[in-house]
C-alpha cells in the first residue's frame, strides 16, 4: 500500500507547488521534500489528489483592502458557495484571513472574527450555512485530523475555508477553488484563482 501511495503524494506535490514567500515551505526548491505527514498511513482521500486538474486560472489585482472586501462580498452572494471548499494560499501576511473575515462578515457573521491560527478551526453556525474556517499553519500531526473530527467536518455540508492547506495536503480533499494571494506592496495584492471543479468554475465567474 505504501508503495502505491507514495508516487501519488509526489504527483500531488508537484501540482501544489504554487506557494512562495515563506522559509518553511522551501520556496527556493522546485521540489520541496515530502513532509512527515506523507510517510504515515494515508487515508483514501489522498487518491483524489491524482485527479486534481486545474480547470481554469484567472489572475487579478486588488489595489487595496477595499477591493479584497468587494471581491469577498461578491463571492458571498454565490449560491454555490454553500458547500464549497476554498483553499487560501500565500505567504504570512498576504491577506488570507483578511479575505475570509470580509467573506464571513458579508455572510452575516457578527462580532469579532478570530483567526484560527492557534485553534486550527473556527466554526460558524450561520442560519442554514455551517462555515468552517481552518488555518493549518500549526497542524503537524495527522492523528489530529481524526481526533479533532476534521474528517467529519469535510464530509458534512457547509462552506470550508482553509489557510495553509499545504500543511495538511495529504488529508484534504481537492478544493473547488484555490485562491493564491501575493503581496505586491503594502496594500496591493496579486490574486490567482484556480478552479478545480465545476463548482469552482461557478465561484470564479
How many residues bind ligand ATP (CB under 6 A)? The answer is: 18
Among 7, 10, 55, 93, binds ligand ATP (CB under 6 A): 93
Strand 121-126 versus strand 129-135 pairing type:
antiparallel
Q: Residue 27 is placed in which grid cell? A: 520556496
Show the CA angle centred on residue 135, arms to residues 203 and 74, nearest 5°. 25
Strand 121-126 versus strand 177-183 pairing type:
unpaired
Chain positions contacting Mg ion, by CB under 5 A: 96-97, 163
Q: Is 71 in the site for ligand ATP (CB under 6 A)?
A: no
Q: Give the Å distances, CA to CA, from 25 to 70, 89, 166, 199.
A: 30, 12, 9, 29
The residue (of 32 and 151) whose beta carbon lies closer to ligand ATP is: 32
The residue (of 103 and 142) whose beta carbon lies closer to ligand ATP is: 103
- The residue sitting closest to Mg ion, measured at its beta carbon, is 97
The residue (of 8 and 106) whose beta carbon lies closer to ligand ATP is: 106
Strands, E assignment, 127-176: 129-135, 159-163
Q: Is 62 in the site for ligand ATP (CB under 6 A)?
A: yes
Give the largest Cα separation in the chain, rounded.
Answer: 49
Q: Is 132 in the site for ligand ATP (CB under 6 A)?
A: no
Choose one: 26-34, 42-50, 64-72, 193-201; the region binding ligand ATP (CB under 6 A): 64-72
Contact 96, 163 (CB under 8 A): yes
159-198 residues in contact with ligand ATP (CB under 6 A) are 163, 187, 189
Give the count of beta carbons closer than 10 Å to the beta carbon of residue 10: 12
The residue (of 97 and 132) whose beta carbon lies closer to Mg ion is: 97
Binding footprint of ligand ATP on the chain (CB under 6 A): 62, 64-65, 67-68, 90, 92-98, 117, 135, 163, 187, 189
Amino acid at each position: 500500500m505504501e508503495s502505491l501511495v507514495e508516487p501519488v503524494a509526489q504527483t500531488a506535490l508537484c501540482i501544489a507547488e504554487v506557494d512562495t514567500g515563506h522559509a518553511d515551505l522551501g520556496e527556493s526548491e522546485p521540489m520541496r521534500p515530502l513532509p512527515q505527514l506523507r510517510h504515515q498511513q494515508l487515508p483514501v482521500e489522498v487518491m483524489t489528489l491524482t485527479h486534481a486538474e486545474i480547470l481554469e486560472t484567472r489572475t487579478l489585482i486588488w489595489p487595496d483592502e477595499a477591493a479584497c472586501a468587494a471581491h469577498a462580498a461578491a463571492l458571498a452572494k454565490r449560491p454555490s458557495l454553500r458547500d464549497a471548499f476554498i483553499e487560501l494560499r500565500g505567504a504570512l501576511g498576504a491577506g488570507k484571513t483578511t479575505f475570509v473575515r470580509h467573506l464571513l462578515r458579508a455572510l452575516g457573521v457578527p462580532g469579532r472574527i478570530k483567526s484560527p491560527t492557534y485553534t486550527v478551526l473556527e466554526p460558524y453556525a450561520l442560519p442554514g450555512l455551517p462555515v468552517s474556517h481552518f488555518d493549518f499553519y500549526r497542524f503537524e500531526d495527522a492523528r489530529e485530523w481524526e481526533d479533532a473530527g476534521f474528517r467529519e467536518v469535510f464530509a458534512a455540508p457547509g462552506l470550508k475555508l482553509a489557510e495553509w492547506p499545504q500543511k495538511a495536503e495529504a488529508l484534504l480533499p481537492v478544493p473547488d477553488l484555490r485562491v493564491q494571494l501575493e503581496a505586491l506592496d503594502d496594500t496591493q495584492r496579486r490574486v490567482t484563482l484556480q478552479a478545480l471543479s465545476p463548482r469552482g468554475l461557478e465561484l470564479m465567474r
